[in-house]
Structure 1
Amino acid sequence: MSTMNDVARRAGVSLKTVSRVVNGEPSVSEQTQQKVAAAIAELGFRPNSIARNLRTGRSPLVGLALPHLAQPYFSSLAEAIMREAERHGLTVLIELTGGDAEAELALMREHGPYLGGLLMYPVGLSDTQARTVARTVPTVFVSERAYDAPVDRVAMANREGVRALVAHMVSLGYTRIAALGADHTGLPERSAAHLRLDGYRDGLRDAGLPYDPELVLDVGTPDWNRPAGAARLRHLIESGISFDAVVAFADALALGALHAVQEAGLRVPTDVAVAGFDDTDEARYSYPSLTSIAPGTSQIAREVLDMLNSRMNDTTPQEQGRLVVADFELIVRESTLGGSAAWAGT
């Protein structure tokens, strides 16, 4: 097993310099950091996080607060964050909040003193509560909502992604495009549901198409799942309202929609094209395979851990809040292009 002494010899630097790099201290040049990082990678060195904790007084335990894991995106995000945390020598404790503000605050009160840092997908927190959480423990939010507080957050390109989906549908000749996943149950104004609906409006406006409220399908729950998607599409089909495409705000909703469309004897995409958001494994292996927006999950995991590490090492002023918006990619599959879509490698 390689040691810090081995890394120091390979990089041609002192043991103290290696220690500074491993602990994320800022007083090391970029060139030296790269030399040490290369030596660590070559030797397969893994810092002893427990020993480092004893020296620095920082806990290697990081909390990850998510609304739930039933939605495929959150389970994918959790896995990506856990992998990235391991690279930082951190251990992740997953807690489920149900999107309830009290549960989010309770997690901070109960576990905050034992955590070195906290990653949270907040749903119910107010601006004041978000500020309280960030001041109690080093925190990074995975959140679309902008808080009036100095908090770090990493967000998806929600609005831009759905806008790209609508543009894709329009480019294929679809003009009666339903939006599946609207929510008017009291979610914060800048929630993912609101932003994705804004993107839907943007896409229609770009194409010169009218906004038809009858094609905006409110699922009545913040939990985007297959049953909700299927039920809402069945209702739309039975209503007799004409539509030729569905842009779902989550893959789970889109998969439910696929089921309902095929159940009704309609062909995808010949009669109705369907697309989702999240690019989950289910999207790749559904039948037909699902066109979807890949929201940059790996990048999100990388950015939140980098931000959190700097907070844990006190290298970012407390009064400054940072924002990173992850890149996205439109992954085109059979549900919008039929058998002509390239399946392999997407």
Structure 2
Amino acid sequence: MVTQADVARAAGVSRGLVSLALNGSPSVAASTRERILAAAQELGYRLNATAASLASGRSGLIGLLLPDLRNPFFDFVAHALQEAVAQRGMTLLVTVGAGARAARGPVDALLALRVEGLVLVSPALADEELRELGEVCPVCLIGRAGPGGRVDTIRLDERAAAHDVISHLVQAGAERLVYVCPDPGQDPNATERGQALAAAARQLGLRLDTVVDGASGVPGLRDQLVRAGAPGVVAHNDVVALDALSVIRASQRGPDPSGGAPLVSYDDTYLASREEFSLTSVEQPVEAMARDAVRFVCERSGREGDGEVGGARNVTVPPVLAVRRSS
């Protein structure tokens, strides 16, 4: 590996001067800097990030933990975070861990790389574990209720979203409601979302039944569709909605592509807008959420502001219902 000493010999200067030039110090003459940079490029010099982080006390790294790679919403979040991190000249490290046990290893690996902070999307870790993690490293959650302590949270206003979703389904003719969700052990937000939907349904005098979308699909939804009363279906996200839509269409009687059961989803990814699905879905302002998450982490780390943030910050973002053919 080419070192700064190698660059110094090639440029005919001291190693200290090479370090100053590579770090953009204004004390290095322009002609000398150009000679040093040309030598570094010719030799193929690469910055030793580990050594630089030890010297500066900052790694320039932010770690991101995603529950999985199947949901395109998580891809949206990752790209938005990448943009927000890159604007600060930092690097985003992405890892995956579904479930509490599977998440601990990736989080430990990110901490071993000396990340300046962590952004965790819908993590399945227990509240106590998250609070302990917040004492070790700046942490911001996206898409999950905050555990308190020093852990910041940015998430959808679930109550407002539930009110909009249930009201929309009732206006579409639903006489009873079914919530299709993943296993809450894999996605803890399923519990909170279900509770918000149930509360909104009760306000309108309706009951909300829950069906889990598992490895074998959603056979429980098929049973719900044949019961008396026109059903309205809520899917936890657009991926779950596709499983629900296949069941709805399989039970179709008539030309309506929704099979007569209005369907509303969450996240409004590209899946929702595809013509063959055309899902009514709750949009989340991913770019704004990502910007706030990175800012929160950088403020807690002291990279921005004075680092004296204090207790948890909990931000909720308003929902926007994108209405399409499925409802």
When the two structures are superposed, what TM-score results if normalisation uses the length of structure 2? Answer: 0.74
1:234 aligns with 2:217: no
133-142 or 267-276, which deviates more = 267-276
Looking at structure 2, the residues matched to 268 and 159 of structure 1 have their Cα atoms a distance apart, in angstroms, of 29
Q: Which residue of 2 aligns with 1:133?
A: 133
1:284-323 mapped onto 2 (5 Å cutoff) = 284-313=273-302, 315-317=306-308, 319-323=310-314
Is 1:182–1:194's contact at 8 Å kept on the other side of the alignment?
Answer: no
Is 2:257–2:326's contact at 8 Å kept on the other side of the alignment?
Answer: yes
Looking at structure 1, the residues matched to 99 and 140 of structure 2 have their Cα atoms a distance apart, in angstroms, of 16
Residue 333 of structure 1: how far off its partner (Å): 0.8
1:1-346 mapped onto 2 (5 Å cutoff) = 56-100=56-100, 102-113=101-112, 114-121=114-121, 123-181=123-181, 183=183, 191-207=188-204, 209-211=205-207, 215-219=209-213, 228-229=217-218, 231-237=219-225, 239-266=226-253, 267-269=256-258, 271-313=260-302, 315-317=306-308, 319-336=310-327
Is 1:246–1:275's contact at 8 Å kept on the other side of the alignment?
Answer: yes
Is 1:299–1:326's contact at 8 Å kept on the other side of the alignment?
Answer: no
Looking at structure 2, the residues matched to 136 and 276 of structure 1 have their Cα atoms a distance apart, in angstroms, of 36
Q: Which residue of 2 aligns with 1:27?
A: none
2:235 is aligned with what amino acid? A
Looking at structure 2, the residues matched to 203 and 328 of structure 1 have their Cα atoms a distance apart, in angstroms, of 15
Distance 1:160 1:187, change over 3 A: farther
How big is each residue's C-alpha offset from its partner over 1:255-310, in whole Å with a ceiling of 9 and x where there is no partner? 22222222223324572211111101010014251101002212211110111121
Distance 1:198 1:163, change over 3 A: farther
2:276 is aligned with what amino acid? Y
Looking at structure 1, the residues matched to 69 and 316 of structure 2 have their Cα atoms a distance apart, in angstroms, of 22
The percent of aligned pairs where both chains have the same amino acid is 24
Distance 1:203 1:109, change over 3 A: closer
Looking at structure 1, the residues matched to 111 and 182 of structure 2 have their Cα atoms a distance apart, in angstroms, of 34
Is 1:119–1:142's contact at 8 Å kept on the other side of the alignment?
Answer: yes
Distance 1:265 1:103, change over 3 A: closer
Is 2:248–2:259's contact at 8 Å kept on the other side of the alignment?
Answer: no
Looking at structure 1, the residues matched to 104 and 258 of structure 2 have their Cα atoms a distance apart, in angstroms, of 45
2:108 is aligned with what amino acid? R
Q: SS state of the match for residue 298, structure 2? A: helix
Q: SS state of the match for residue 145, structure 2? A: coil
When the two structures are superposed, what TM-score results if normalisation uses the length of structure 1? Answer: 0.70
Looking at structure 1, the residues matched to 175 and 236 of structure 2 have their Cα atoms a distance apart, in angstroms, of 18
Looking at structure 2, the residues matched to 210 and 308 of structure 1 have their Cα atoms a distance apart, in angstroms, of 41
Is 1:180–1:246's contact at 8 Å kept on the other side of the alignment?
Answer: yes
Residue 152 of structure 1: how far off its partner (Å): 1.3
Q: SS state of the match for residue 334, structure 1? A: coil
Q: Which segments of 5 or more consecutive residues in structure 2 lack a partner in the other structure?
A: 1-23, 25-46
2:248 is aligned with what amino acid? V
Give the CA RMSD over aligned residues. Answer: 2.9
Is 1:59–1:115's contact at 8 Å kept on the other side of the alignment?
Answer: yes
Q: SS state of the match for residue 217, structure 2? A: helix
Looking at structure 2, the residues matched to 291 and 177 of structure 1 have their Cα atoms a distance apart, in angstroms, of 16
How big is each residue's C-alpha offset from its partner over 1:50-108, in whole Å with a ceiling of 9 and x where there is no partner? 799688431111110111111222122112211221122221111111122x4433334
Distance 1:305 1:141, change over 3 A: same
Looking at structure 1, the residues matched to 161 and 189 of structure 2 have their Cα atoms a distance apart, in angstroms, of 11
Structure having the higher Rg: 2
Is 1:60–1:116's contact at 8 Å kept on the other side of the alignment?
Answer: yes
